[in-house]
Amino acid sequence: MKRITLYATTLVMITCWTLPACKKSAVPPQGSVDTNQYHPPVLDTTGYTLVWSDEFNYTGLPDSTKWGYDVGNGSSGWGNNELEYYTADSLSNARVENGYLILEARKQVMDGFNYTSARLVTREKADWEYGKIVVRAKLPSGRGTWPAIWMLGAEQPLVWPDDGEIDIMEEVGFQPNIIHGSVYTKSFNWSLNTPQTNAVTMINTQDSFHLYSMVWTPDQINLYADTALILTFYNQHKTFAEWPFDNKCYLLLNIAIGGNWGGQQGVDDNIFPQDMVIDYVRVYQKQP
């Protein structure tokens, strides 16, 4: 989600940096076929055990034993000058129905902000060190939307970017079907001009479900959209500044509105409401 960082409008996100810590695709591979009936294969989980999941087979608010909320607009719009106000326990912004989690961004004034949305977190409820995380989701559309599936270090209080951030999936509405994946640490971040980030081109991310996933081991982090590899971030086995990921992280799901990146071309107020629809979230780990 690129916390506490600014995006230069001249940055071409689909081009990636060439630091030795990260091996990336020179040409973004194509994503899945264009059909609502397409069900891409779940990544191979041989040797892994399902340790946590939400299949959303219930109705109402998200399961409070699994999900909490970040509330409000944070500091400076969560560090990104975002325009939304994140609510808690509001069926208008986060609800489960018909087997899906629906995060909904709305044109709605709250506490001085013109939009409401939801940011679900597993912080202090579930966190993990290494494993595979798979999220099957359909993304919102329209200029100004900024959905994300991401992770932050579970250590509290969080020190960013020192404690690490893993962006499994981000998309901005003015660049539909381009899926970004990123990793940030003290040594690799936007302020140092050393971000580890890449993107792949998908098909129909707004109307079809796709898999967004991560495979995290002690040696590397791989990010995928369906079966397309977005990014590999390697452990250089140096210091915490390069690799803070031998510690637990928690998961976040949200739709931001506007902000330094998502709002680069403004916000189209005619698009609302906009939903990110999630079929399931599954976490696998290798057992001792």
Catalytic residues: 165, 170
CB 226 within 8 A of CB 32: yes
SS3 79: helix
Q: Which residue reads 């679900």 in tokens?
A: 120
CB 213 within 8 A of CB 226: no
In angstroms, rounded to a whole number, what is the distance separating the alpha carbons of residues 179 and 196?
Answer: 14
Residues in CB range of 67: below 8 A, 6 or more apart: 54, 120, 121, 122, 125
DSSP symbols for 169-204: EE--TTSTTEEEEEEE-SSSSGGGT--EEEEEE-S-
